[in-house]
Structure 1
Amino acid sequence: MNVLNFVELIKEDKYQKQLTTMKRSELNKTKLKKFVHETLMAVTESLNSGYMAQHQLHLEGRRPLTVGVETGIVNLPYENIDKVTKIMTEEDNREVAVYLTASSDFLNKSGFRIDQLATADDVISDEQSFESQMISWVEEKMQLVKDYQVEEPKKSESKKETKKKTEKSTKKTTKKAKK
């Protein structure tokens, strides 16, 4: 796909998108498998129809997490589409790939992770073979969010008190003698 065409499609919102929201406590293995299966089928349909796609699952709770799939030509989320032309020339043609995305304040320092699942052609030829890979990836990100330790702001090290050495100095003044 041409870089400029890709950027224009995303900027103009000309891609298929879906957002599913549920409470994290309601997500079980069956629901996760269903989401992954339906997502990969929908992404395959989008790609076969010539569309880019973004499908996300937002898990609400104390530690919210959004996971999903994006199709694209570079491992940058659609939110950063303006950066694509800074790292690629507009005339370049790139292979479309399927990326897994995760975002949460409790994921890592950046709050975001993106990994390539496969090329679009590979997913189109057999999306079912990638389901278990995606399920494992999502479960791993859920565990990372659950285990994430919020870093306490670093306290400045207590300064060692050092006694200031002062030397007593006396200033001698001389008086002018009177004549």
Structure 2
Amino acid sequence: MQINIKNFISEITDEKFQKQSQSTTKGNLTKHFNATIKSAVNFIVQNIKKNQIAQAELVTKRPETSIRLELNVINLPLRYAKNIGKVTKDDANYDLNVYMVIESPDVNRSKLRIDELASADDFNQNPDQYLPKFKAWVNNQFEQIDDNKQSGSKKETQKATSNKKTSTKKKTTKK
């Protein structure tokens, strides 16, 4: 599936793309992944069939995280329409792909990770084929978040203890 970049950017900028958002828990995502993600996957497939740009989001509170499937031409979130326009050629047609996006304060320094899951055409033909890859990716991101939180709290503890001042008396020597 291809789309003209001018039309693509116009639809994103004017927010004329399809969106779906649902709340879930980290536990549901890790224990019942396929059932939890089914609605989002179906939503993306329906929009591929309609040749529409779409974003399906799952939001967890602990940790505060947004996990999305996005139909896009490049590995930037849809909300970066201006940047997408800067790195693409005017009036060219681009293939649409399905991207996995995660945003969380602890995923990395940029608080964002995005990776390609599949071309829109391939995903449309057999979305179930890509669920194991998506599940592994989500689990890896949650592990990274947990690791970063632990190392962040260790750094905070170290910083707090190093900031404690110990008073020492200066000794003066007579000459």
Same fold, judged at TM 0.5 (above): yes
Aligned to 1:176: none
Counterpart Cα distance in 2 of 1:131 and 1:36: 9
What residue identity is the alignment partner of 1:68?
A: R
1:134-162 CA-partner distances (Å, limit 9, x unpaired)? 1111111111111212255988xxxxxxx
Partner of 1:105: 105
Bigger share in helix: 2
Aligned to 1:89: 89
**TM-score, structure 2 length as denominator?**
0.80
In the aligned structure 2, how far is the partner of 1:131 from the partner of 1:26?
A: 15
Write the deviation string for residues 73-124 of structure 1: whole angstroms up to 9, x where unpaired.
1111012111111111221111000000001110011100000001001001
- The question of 1:34 aligning with 2:13 is answered no
| Alignment-mate amino acid for residue 133 of structure 1 | K
Out of 12, 15, 18, the position equivalent to 2:14 is: 12
Q: Which residue of 1 aligns with 2:114?
A: 114
Which amino acid in the other structure matches residue 38 of structure 1? Answer: S
User: Is 1:59 aligned to 2:64, yes or no?
Assistant: no
1:39-72 superposed Cα distances (whole Å, 9 cap, x missing partner) = 22210110101111101111102x3111110001
Unaligned runs of 5+ in 1: 156-179
The question of whether the paired residues in 2 share the 8 Å contact of 1:65 and 1:142 is answered with: no
**Identity of paired residues, percent?**
24
**Cα gap change, 1:23/1:6 in structure 2, threshold over 3 Å: closer, same or farther?**
same
Which residue of structure 1 aligns with residue 4 of structure 2?
2
Aligned length: 154
Q: Secondary structure at the match of 2:110?
A: coil
Matched position secondary structure for 2:48: helix
CA distance in 1, matches of 2:51, 2:139: 30
Alpha-carbon shift at residue 26 of structure 1 (Å): 5.3
Contact 2:29/2:37 (8 A) holds in 1: no
**Higher Cα radius of gyration:** 1
- Write the distance in 2 (CA, Å) between the matches of 1:121 and 1:27: 25
Q: Which residue of 1 aligns with 2:123?
A: 123
Q: What is the identity, as a one-letter code, of the residue corresponding to 1:18?
A: Q
CA distance in 1 between partners of 2:16 and 2:59 (Å): 22
Relative to structure 1, the CA distance from residue 122 to residue 36 in structure 2 (aligned partners, 3 Å threshold; closer, same or farther) is: same
Moved over 3 A (4+): 23-28, 151-155
Inter-partner Cα distance in structure 2 for 1:19 and 1:96: 21
Structure 2: gaps of 5 or more residues: 163-175
